[in-house]
Amino acid sequence: MRHPDRRVGAQGLEDEDGPAPWLAEFGLQEHASADYPDRTRANVGDAGLTLILVTRESDLARGTALTLRVAQASKAHGIDYYISVMSYPGAVERCRDALKWYANVGDSVVNVAGPRESESPGIGERAEKFLREVFQQPG
């Protein structure tokens, strides 16, 4: 069952540094389970597309690899995924094209995923910059 208005965060709304109640400002809801695989499955299942952002292919490990496996297993249920290695030439344009395709099939919920900051230092800043470029109107 998809819940397009739900974005699920860690139990207690925490990030790697501990309690992060400010996440509620973005509409994040606390997940009932403290188990991150449960949260991953919920986020993938609630979206029609999971966009996985990595800086290099080796970032597809641990939790990011779990997200990919869950998304691949969900493909039979009409859920798709797209992996973007942000450092590859043309990555912005290819990601923009994937999101346009997704919007054209009539869905609008995208789960954005990737490695933790502690696993890929600087990923948060790079992902934010990358997404700003993706959503910027060309020209």
Q: At 41, phi and psi to the nearest 5?
A: -60, -40
- As a whole number of angstroms, the distance between CA 110 and CA 27 comes to 14
Q: Does domain 7-135 have CATH number 3.40.50.450?
A: yes
| Tokens, residue 53 | 């952002």
Query: Would you give the DSSP letter of residue 137?
Result: P
Domain regions of the chain by residue span: 7-135
Can you give the pTM of this predicted structure?
A: 0.82
Per-residue pLDDT of the chain (139 residues; tens, 9 = 90+): 344 445 566 566 677 777 777 777 877 777 788 788 888 898 888 888 899 999 988 888 888 999 999 999 988 777 888 899 999 999 999 999 989 888 888 777 888 999 988 889 999 999 999 999 998 876 6
